[in-house]
Amino acid sequence: MLNRRELLTSAAVLAVMPAAAANTATANQQADTLYASFVDELMEASPEFATSLGLDAGAKSTLRRRLSSRSLQARKERKSLGASMLARLEKVDRKALAGQSATNYDAVLYGLQQEDAIAKRFAYGDSCNPYVVHQLGGAYQQGPDFLDSQHPVETEADANAYLARLESFATALDEDSEVVRHDAGLGVIPPDFAIASALTQMTALRSYPAEKSVLTASLVRRTANKHISGDWGVQASALVSGKIYPALDRQIALMENLKTKASHDAGVWKLPDGDAFYALALENQTTTKMSPAEVHQLGLDVVAECTAQSDTIMKAGGLSQGTVGARLRAMFLDPKFRYANTDAAKETLITDLNAKLAEVTKLLPRYFRTLPKAGVQVKRVPKYIESGAPGGYYQSATLDGKRPGTYYINLRDTAEVPSWTLPTLTFHEAIPGHHLQISIAQETDLPLLRRIGGYNAYVEGWALYAEQLAVEMGLYENDPWGHIGQLHDAMLRGVRLVIDTGLHQMRWTREQAIKYYADTLGDPDSGAISEVERYCVWPGQACGYMVGKRFILAQRDHAKAALGPRFDLKAFHDAVLKPGALPLDELRTVIDSYIATAKA
């Protein structure tokens, strides 16, 4: 928000400006003030969001003691807040904006319009996630890791804030249960296998004595590390045993009961207005108007391309018998590529990943003009959620740099992550993938709302583009098996397009999808199952990756053709990265502007 002096200064400048310039300045000022207000409102509604950014300090320090409300009333309020933001933004004179200001406006407007369309049409779910509690979502799944890895414990006040949030965690569990009952009354129940997987994780969280729970152990460990005296373990375990475990028991009983009513149907077509839900989810996650049929065909094309390329490299390496999928399965089973399934070997695996990060870091200046200041660390997915979690994911650094970006890798079974799969996963999740893109955005002078916002097709599209860029950087010149891993993961994103549309539009069964996945990619059954079950509860999300990658590559080809010898890859990367995450059509506009400027 502007202070009084800024308002007076702005008024004086506007008084001597030509009318058109004054209108532009006023529109810019209105938009920037709104963006700042939106961030404050979002943090107030979601204190965890403030903590994740490192902004829960100073005037916002009370947010560190709170968790988001997850109740039905809170869901209504979130929808109302989104509608209010949209209405306020639409009052800004878009025609008076230009350049980056126009890009900011269009990016924010697109997201608000998308969310508002979903909120107005559906009385269930959370945005384009149809289910509130499942193997990949819910307070039970998100809360413990948030408290352990993101809530800071540096002072006694932080430790007390942790206890306050621990008490709120019990409330969050009951609020989730309230929403689950409401949505079930509308006929919105996760598939039976998703509930079963969630119950496995809930039971794992519940299985420890309160004093040994991760919720207690985290506070005890970190207060000890910071020499913060107090009976923290006693206080935390009392909350765990007295409030959290009873709430978790209630939720387990609810989900056990719900499982008896759940169907085995995997797609959202079974839900009220399910076809429309999927159409909006697909548009939301790809930021395109591609139809399910178009997405499905793109997936088949990608699978064919990657299969052919993999076949060539495999034959050169002496693997020629059977389908590519069968040969990939043989590589998964080959002991020479496998780490032992022990904690010690998993630590060695993480050490090897850090060595790979060091290798790619040295090459970055040849391909990027702008590099992130924030560091990145590698950590295991917490054991209590690893059974249902994806193979890897990224958690961004705080804005103040106190907590680095984190690349999480799922090591529930090292058979799922043989050595030939690890380089491309590392390039995707860390650098030049998520960590590079997200950190660069956070370190720009864009409005805070734009620095921290994201669009799935852009964010995941960039990370998948980064996997391809690693090939171009020569990182596989002496690693043909790793190159097969890169092609395997590119083919995986094609498989996702086929399966996601198959499940939600074409009424594929879970088993049909698992068979296609395993036959095509050769993955162990456990990996195939968790991946397919992920698509069942996150409709459309898996489609953003390849749609985004193909779009970025197409824009790069367009820029090369338009600029000829004047094309500069570093400048292209700046053009893609520095404006922040965008809907794909808006990225096209940005690239066209970059080309026009480069030609001038």
Beta carbons of 568 and 369 less than 8 angstroms apart = no
Least confident of 206-210, 382-386, 552-556: 382-386
Higher per-residue confidence, 63 vs 386:
63
Q: Could you report the per-residue pLDDT of 414-469, keeping only the tens digit for each?
A: 989 999 999 999 999 999 999 999 999 999 999 999 998 889 999 999 999 999 99
User: Across all residues in the chain, what is the average pLDDT?
Assistant: 93
Q: How confident is the model at residue 486 (pLDDT cuts 50, 70, 90)?
A: very high
Q: If you write DSSP's letter for every residue of 356-418 in order, what string do you get?
A: HHHHHHHHGGGT-SS--SS-EEEEEPPGGGTTTS-SEEEEPPPTTSSS-EEEEE--S-GGGS-
Q: Where are the domains of the chain?
A: 1-121, 277-548
Alpha carbon 59 to its chain centroid, in Å, reads 28
- Crossing angle (nearest 10°) for helices 456-472 and 274-286: 50
Average of per-residue pLDDT across 328-357: 94
Comparing CA positions, the residue from 10, 29, 39, 31 lying closest to residue 448 is 39
**Does the pLDDT at position 19 exceed 80?**
no
Beta carbons of 463 and 429 less than 8 angstroms apart = yes
Average of per-residue pLDDT across 215-229: 97
The span from the CA of 136 to the CA of 272, in Å, is 22
Region class of 99: left (phi > 0), else alpha (psi between -120 and 50), else beta: left
Structure tokens at 420: 């030939």
Q: Where are the alpha helices (DSSP H) in 150-191?
A: 156-185
Residue 154: its H or E element: none
* The pLDDT value given to residue 201: 95
Over pLDDT 90: what percentage of the chain? 90
**Does the pLDDT at position 123 exceed 90?**
yes
Q: Model pTM greater than 0.85?
A: yes
Biggest CA pair distance of the chain: 78
**Does the pLDDT at position 112 exceed 60?**
yes
**Does the pLDDT at position 4 exceed 80?**
no
Q: How confident is the model at residue 23 (pLDDT cuts 50, 70, 90)?
A: low
Average of per-residue pLDDT across 465-482: 97
Q: Which residue has the tokens 């509860």?
A: 537
Length of the chain: 600
Any bridge partners for residue 394, and if so which?
407
* The pLDDT value given to residue 385: 77
Q: How confident is the model at residue 289 (pLDDT cuts 50, 70, 90)?
A: very high
Beta carbons of 17 and 25 less than 8 angstroms apart = yes
Q: How confident is the model at residue 24 (pLDDT cuts 50, 70, 90)?
A: low
* The pLDDT value given to residue 8: 29
* The pLDDT value given to residue 180: 98
Q: Could you report the per-residue pLDDT of 187-204, keeping only the tens digit for each?
A: 999 999 999 999 999 999
Rg value, the chain, Cα: 24
Q: Could you report the per-residue pLDDT of 537-562, keeping only the tens digit for each?
A: 999 999 999 999 999 999 999 999 99
Q: Could you report the per-residue pLDDT of 156-165, keeping only the tens digit for each?
A: 999 999 999 9
* The pLDDT value given to residue 17: 41
**Does the pLDDT at position 18 exceed 60?**
no
N- to C-terminal Cα distance for the chain?
Answer: 37
Least confident of 409-423, 463-477, 574-588: 409-423
**Does the pLDDT at position 255 exceed 90?**
yes
**Does the pLDDT at position 22 exceed 70?**
no
SS3 137: strand
Average of per-residue pLDDT across 135-142: 96
How do beta strands 405-409 and 376-380 pair?
parallel
Q: Could you report the per-residue pLDDT of 257-274, keeping only the tens digit for each?
A: 999 999 999 999 999 999
